[in-house]
Structure 1
Amino acid sequence: MLPAPATGSQDQNGPARLEPLDRFQGSLGQRVYQSLKQAILTLEFRPGDSIRKPEICDRLGVSRSPVADAVARLAADGLVDVIPQAGTFVTRLSMTDIREGAFIREAIEVAAAERVAAQITEDQLRDLRRNLRLQEALVSEGDRRGFMALDAQMHEMMLSFTGFPRLAQVAQTAWLSVDRARQLILPVEGRLQATLEEHRAILAAFEARDPQAARQALQHHLRQLLTYLAPLERAHPELFAAP
Structure 2
Amino acid sequence: MRMTPVAEPSGMNDLPDLRSSAGSLAQRIHHVLRGAILDLTFPPGAPLRKAELAQRFGVSRAPVTEAIAILAAEGLVVAMPQVTARVAPLSVAALREETFLRSAIEGAVVEQVAQTRTEAQLAQLGRNLRLQELLVEDGDTRGFFEADMEFHALLQGFTGLDRVSDFAAQVSLQLHRARQLLLPEAGRPAETIVEHREVFEGIRRQDAPAAVKAMRFHLGQLVPYLKPLEQTYPRYFREG
Query: What band does the TM-score fall into relative to the shorter chain?
Result: over 0.9
Question: What's the Cα RMSD here?
Answer: 1.7
TM-score by length of structure 2 reads: 0.92
1:145-196 deviation digits (Å, cap 9, x = unpaired): 2222222221121112122211111111111111111111111111111112
Give the unaligned 5+ runs of structure 1.
none
Quick one: distance in 1 between partners of 2:205 and 2:3?
37
Query: What is the number of residues matched between the two proteins?
Result: 239
Matched to 1:4, the amino acid is P
Matches within 5 A, 1:188-203: 188-203=185-200
Measure the CA separation in 2 of the matches of 1:225 and 1:6.
Answer: 21
The one-letter code matched in structure 1 to 2:150 is Q
Q: In 2, Cα distance between the equivalents of 1:90 and 1:132? A: 33
Which of 178, 181, 184 aligns to 1:184? It is: 181
Runs of at least 4 residues of structure 1 off by over 4 A? none
Shift of 1:78: 0.7
Could you tell me which residue of structure 2 aligns to residue 88 of structure 1?
Answer: 85
Q: How does 1:92-131 map to 2 (within 5 A)?
A: 92-131=89-128
1:8–1:16: 8 Å Cα contact kept in structure 2?
A: no
Whether the 8 Å CA contact 2:40–2:180 is kept in 1: the answer is yes
| 2:4 corresponding residue in structure 1 | 3
| Cα displacement (A) at 1:6 | 5.7
Q: Which residue number corresponds to residue 62 of structure 1?
A: 59
The question of whether the paired residues in 2 share the 8 Å contact of 1:6 and 1:183 is answered with: no
User: Retained in 2: the 8 A contact 1:6–1:187?
Assistant: no
Q: Structure 1 residue 142 and structure 2 residue 143: aligned? A: no
Mapped partners of 1:108, 1:90: distance in 2:
27
Q: CA deviation at 1:97?
A: 1.2
Cα contact 2:50–2:83 (8 A) shared by 1? no
Q: 1:139 to 1:166 in 2, by over 3 A?
A: same
Return the alpha-carbon distance in structure 1 between the equivalents of residues 8 and 102 of structure 2.
23
Contact 1:185 1:229 in 2 (8 A): no
1:76 to 63, 73, 76: 73
CA distance in 1, matches of 2:57, 2:129: 34
Question: 1:211 — aligned with what?
Answer: 208
Distance (whole Å) between structure 1 residues aligned to residue 179 and residue 152 of structure 2: 14
CA distance in 2, matches of 1:25, 1:129: 32
SS in 1 for 2:107: helix
Identity of aligned residues (%): 44
Deviation at 1:16, TM superposition (A): 5.6
Instruction: Rate the CA distance shift 1:6–1:169 in 2: closer, same or farther, 3 A.
Output: farther
The one-letter code sitting in structure 2 at the alignment partner of 1:143 is D
Gaps of 5+ in 2: none
